[in-house]
Structure 1
């Protein structure tokens, strides 16, 4: 959410930043509504002062027996009371309208974010690892012989429909091992605090991390009003909603492994085969709450932590700085990590790490008290995948595939699998 005072003071800069996202100027309409709202508030305050003066004079007029003045003043008090009520209602309505409009305006990109209309405008920052040279035509994950027994799309479709999968045997053990490996790395090596959170949340929580109101169709809502989280960014970030933290307690660095749910609205025809784009999936999420001054350093740190998971697994990847047209609604700056998938012969997103500045904190009223004193200020919030478990599973399977249909498992996972090192061509963990 944007601060209307900032827009009031810097309308040209606000519109210029929005134009980098491909949006038309919004400050004239927002400021007109703000000016009307403030004028009504001032008029109501003026009418209140007039009512107070008249109320004091009513008694004096009655005491001196001036019936005409008494009636005039009593009528004026009633008139001002009605005027105040009308102006207050109108100002409240315009205040709600202003907040509703501000809630649909995306965050402003930082100056270093490249301008672009879509993913073609993204800028590659670096690469790690070399894609393995294969002497055979690589298969996509769902076509690898050793994987097929453990990846059942037909049963999932019977149970739930498209974009679901039933995992079993060696494949689900590998999936579970990956999640545990990610959590252990983040907790033991990166110093994150592990948190277990609900997957059902109130609308206020979805609003706080900008899934609502604009992106309601991307998520699932229950009949009694709860929402299924699209990622534990929602719960971890909202843990500070309505709170005032001490600066000495910052940064707060958290991680959580949860089920995630997305309707994939607007993705018809995209990644319809395999488990790359599912309605239900698992993620190990990272969230940081910090001061605005330290947010960019935290962004680099979180990116490096997501990279560390890929490096430990030996998966080639690249880091991409998203352009203004491909960046998420709530982000100021985003790094995408794209892992190499030999079955598709291309890099695909496996993590997105974003700094949101004070944008989300203002929506959820999450603040901190500066150590040196002064009034509370809004926190900075950051979030990132560390990593998407299903997509990491895909990458491990495709990069580890062998010509005979078996899969070699990264050494970092052997201890989580009882010393087993591969999936055989017939689907056994051996």
Structure 2
């Protein structure tokens, strides 16, 4: 959410940020709408002053026993009150319209975000690891999983439809092992507090992180009006909604494993085979709540925490700075981690780590009280995949596959697999 006061004072900068995100200029239209709202509020104050003055005059007229004047004034007050009532409704309508327009405008990019139109303009920041050279043709994860008899898309389709998977046996345990490994790493090494949040949320919760109203078609909604979470970012970030924190207690760092549910609207024909794009998948999420001064450093820290997962699993990856045209709605700056998949001979996204600035803080009314000075400030929020468990399973299968179709279990996962060294 954007601050209309800031837009009034920085209209050109606001439109420049939107232009960098390939969005049309909106400052002038927003200011006109806000001026209409403010004019209506001023008119209401004037009408209320008139009503108060007339009410006083009624008392004076009654004291003089001037009944005719008193009745005239009463009629005037009644007319003013009716006008106030209508004016209040008009003011509410203008306020709602302004809020709805602001709610649909994406965050402005940070100054150091590369300007571009789409993913082709993203910038590689660094790489880690060297893709393995195979002495056989590497297979894709679904070929490996199906040959093992432990990755079943046909049964999942029978149960739930397309874009679902049923894992069995050692692959089911491997998925669980990956999640446990990530949670332990983030809590024990990186200092995140593990939380287990609800998987169903209210509309205002999804609104707070920017998922509603703009992306309703990407979510699943229950008949009771609750929404299945698309990521743990939604419930975990909302822990601080409507709260006033102290600066001393920041940053808050949370990690959570949850299933995630996405309708994948608009992705028809993309990644139709395998586990890359499912309606239901598991993810370990990282969320930070911090001050404006600390959020840039926190963003680098969070990205490094996600990178460490891939390093310990021996999975080659590259870190990408997303350009202005490819960033998510709520983000002001995003790093994507793309893991090497030898079966596809390509790098594919496995994590996004985003600094949202105060964009979500405003939507959630989440504030903190600075150690010095008066008043409160909106918190800065950050979120990142630490990492997507299903895609990490894909990467482990493809990078650690053997010529006979078996999978070598990475050293970091063996304690979680009962010491198992190979899946075959």
Q: TM-score range by the shorter chain?
A: over 0.9
1:280 matched to 2:286? no
Number of aligned residue pairs: give it.
424
Give the deviation of 1:145 after TM superposition.
Answer: 6.4
Give 1:417's aligned residue. Answer: 417
CA shift digits 1:160-182 (9 cap, x unpaired):
01000000011111111100000
Give 1:304's aligned residue. Answer: 304
Give 1:389's aligned residue. Answer: 389
| Aligned 8 A contact 2:145 2:151 in 1 | no
| Aligned 8 A contact 1:145 1:406 in 2 | no
Give the deviation of 1:65 after TM superposition.
Answer: 3.0
- The secondary structure found in structure 2 opposite 1:239 is helix
In structure 1, stretches of 5+ residues that fail to align are 425-430
- The secondary structure found in structure 2 opposite 1:198 is coil
Give 2:221's aligned residue. Answer: 221
- The secondary structure found in structure 2 opposite 1:196 is coil
Give 1:102's aligned residue. Answer: 102
Matches within 5 A, 1:221-260: 221-260=221-260
Give 1:118's aligned residue. Answer: 118
Give 2:13's aligned residue. Answer: 13
Q: Distance in 1 between matches of 2:52 and 2:40?
A: 18
CA RMSD, Structure 1 to Structure 2 (Å): 1.0
1:364 matched to 2:364? yes
CA shift digits 1:207-242 (9 cap, x unpaired):
001110000000100000010000000011000001
Deviates more, 1:363-372 or 1:345-354: 363-372
Q: Distance in 2 between matches of 1:60 and 1:287?
A: 64
Runs of 4+ more than 4 Å apart: none
Give 2:176's aligned residue. Answer: 176
Matches within 5 A, 1:5-44: 5-44=5-44
Give the deviation of 1:135 after TM superposition.
Answer: 1.3
Give the deviation of 1:77 after TM superposition.
Answer: 1.1
Question: Alpha carbons of 1:145 and 1:105: their partners in 2 closer, same or farther (altered >3 Å)?
Answer: closer
Q: Distance in 2 between matches of 1:146 and 1:355?
A: 38
Q: Distance in 2 between matches of 1:123 and 1:254?
A: 28
| Aligned 8 A contact 1:41 1:91 in 2 | yes
Matches within 5 A, 1:58-137: 58-137=58-137
Give 1:152's aligned residue. Answer: 152
Give the deviation of 1:254 after TM superposition.
Answer: 0.4
Q: Distance in 2 between matches of 1:224 and 1:70?
A: 55
Give the deviation of 1:71 after TM superposition.
Answer: 2.9
| Aligned 8 A contact 2:255 2:284 in 1 | yes
- The secondary structure found in structure 1 opposite 2:82 is helix
Give the deviation of 1:147 after TM superposition.
Answer: 5.3
Q: Distance in 2 between matches of 1:236 and 1:354?
A: 15
Give 2:143's aligned residue. Answer: 143
Q: What TM-score results when the alignment is normalised by the length of structure 1? A: 0.97
Give the deviation of 1:62 after TM superposition.
Answer: 2.2
CA shift digits 1:268-295 (9 cap, x unpaired):
0000000111000100000000001100
| Aligned 8 A contact 2:146 2:152 in 1 | no
Q: Distance in 2 between matches of 1:358 and 1:231?
A: 20
Question: Alpha carbons of 1:147 and 1:411: their partners in 2 closer, same or farther (altered >3 Å)?
Answer: farther
| Aligned 8 A contact 2:338 2:347 in 1 | yes
Give 1:319's aligned residue. Answer: 319
Deviates more, 1:333-342 or 1:406-415: 406-415
In structure 2, stretches of 5+ residues that fail to align are none
Give the deviation of 1:259 after TM superposition.
Answer: 0.8
